[in-house]
Amino acid sequence: MNTCLLPSFKKCQIEDMPLISSYLKKADYLGSDYNVVNMTMWDVFYPLYYYEEADFLLIACFHDDNYYLYMPLCDSSCFEKALLRAQELFLAASIKFRLIFFDEEHKDRALSLFKDIEAQELVNSFDYIYDMNSFRTFVGKKMQKKRNHLNNFYKNYQDRFVYEDLNENNIQELYDFVRNLDCEDDEVLKIEKEGIFRLLDNHQHLRYESGLIRIDSRIEAFIIASDLNSMCVQENVEKADKNITGLYQAMIKEFFGRHFLDKIYIDREDDAGIDDLRLSKSSYHPCGYVHKYMLE
């Protein structure tokens, strides 16, 4: 859907991402939904529209036949002003005022501003936050099992694997690797796959970093990650051959040992309510979560 029913809102395009990034920097939110790489990747699933005034930028998504407003992108002092303006725009278009992906603090600010609005916890959308140091070192008792996998990989593949940053010489091979990912007739995985292609198509325009691991000269794993806020990096994509013990851990250690050295935390997004994904993310022992809410 490319025509927005909200007055003055425009469809977010790749050329709009620098503008959106400048407002995201002002807001400095923690949460995977507030990241231009994520926005670009999931554009088919969550089409986004934006509206700009002097002090703020509003983002609305269209999903399941409804419009939802993200937390306004602005300095904290302009938050209530931006929300009130957003309410005006929704009411003028006779569209129900729904808010989505609000964190705990800004959910409470919205509830204080609007007395006739209710909040619902989006448990399956909670982001997992990790201490960056544990992903660079795998030290500590909690990481012993992961460290064992990692050491097993280095022992078995030390002379057979190489790490490379994404570049013009290997990007076509990465396209081929993604093309061969098994989606198992899963519609969300198919959308994710198309989203990864979209990121690769625009790698020169989006500010993300990517690395890959080859085993016997063949790509077997890769990561895409990008700045989320002043302290946190977002891991947008992580793919590896699950049959190779320790490959996921090696990909994490090799990549984050070279990139985002100024960041303290990693946001590895949500588990989408999938049990296996929840177990996998929990097994890395998050240091916290980003709680998210929908309000209407």
pLDDT tens digits for range 29-47: 999 999 999 999 999 888 9
Query: Three-class SS of residue 201?
Result: helix
Contact present, 41 and 126 (Cβ < 8 Å): no
Tokens, residue 39: 């926005």
| pLDDT interval class at 188 (50, 70, 90) | confident
pLDDT at 7: 85
- CA proximity to 17, closest of 42, 31, 44, 35: 35
Classified by CATH at the fold level, domain 127-269 comes out as Aminopeptidase (3.40.630)
Write the CA distances from 8 to 23, 77, 95, integer angstroms.
18, 23, 14
Check whether 240 has a pLDDT greater than 80.
yes
- Tell me whether domains 10-125 and 127-269 share a fold: yes
- CA proximity to 282, closest of 119, 81, 146: 146
| Structure-model confidence comparison of residues 207 and 59, the more confident one | 59
Q: Average pLDDT of 190-207?
A: 93
- Over residues 243-253, the pLDDT tens digits come to 999 999 999 99
Could you list the beta-strand ranges (E) of the chain.
Answer: 10-11, 48-52, 56-63, 66-69, 73-74, 99-102, 119-121, 127-131, 161-165, 209-215, 218-227, 232-240, 265-267, 288-290, 293-295
Cβ contacts of 220 within 8 Å, gap of 6 or more: 213, 214, 240, 241, 244, 247
pLDDT at 26: 96
Q: Average pLDDT of 166-178?
A: 96
Write the CA distances from 228 to 25, 76, 225, integer angstroms.
9, 17, 9
- CA proximity to 220, closest of 238, 204, 202: 238
- Over residues 121-145, the pLDDT tens digits come to 999 999 999 999 999 999 999 999 9
The DSSP element (H or E) to which 166 belongs, if any, is none
Average pLDDT over the chain reads 95
Classified by CATH at the fold level, domain 10-125 comes out as Aminopeptidase (3.40.630)
What is the C-alpha R_g of the chain? 20
Check whether 71 has a pLDDT greater than 60.
yes
Q: Average pLDDT of 92-103?
A: 97
CB burial of residue 233 (10 Å; 0-12, 13-18, 19+):
buried
Domain boundaries, the chain: 10-125, 127-269
Tokens, residue 263: 């960041």
pLDDT at 1: 45
What does DSSP say about strands 73-74 and 56-63: parallel, antiparallel, or unpaired? antiparallel
Dihedral, CA of residue 176, residue 178, residue 180 and residue 183, to nearest 10: -160
As a whole-number percent, the residues of the chain with pLDDT over 90 amount to 89
Burial 108-119 (b: 16+ CB within 10 A, else e): eebeeebeeeeb
- Over residues 226-238, the pLDDT tens digits come to 999 999 999 999 9
Query: Three-class SS of residue 28?
Result: coil
How many Cβ atoms are within 10 Å of 230's Cβ, its own excluded? 11
In eight-state DSSP terms, residue 72 is: P
pLDDT at 186: 80
As a whole-number percent, the residues of the chain with pLDDT over 70 amount to 99
Cβ contacts of 50 within 8 Å, gap of 6 or more: 9, 10, 12, 16, 19, 20, 57, 58, 59, 60
| pLDDT interval class at 212 (50, 70, 90) | very high
| pLDDT interval class at 2 (50, 70, 90) | low
pLDDT at 42: 94
- Over residues 272-287, the pLDDT tens digits come to 899 999 999 999 999 9
Could you list the beta-strand ranges (E) of 64-191.
Answer: 66-69, 73-74, 99-102, 119-121, 127-131, 161-165
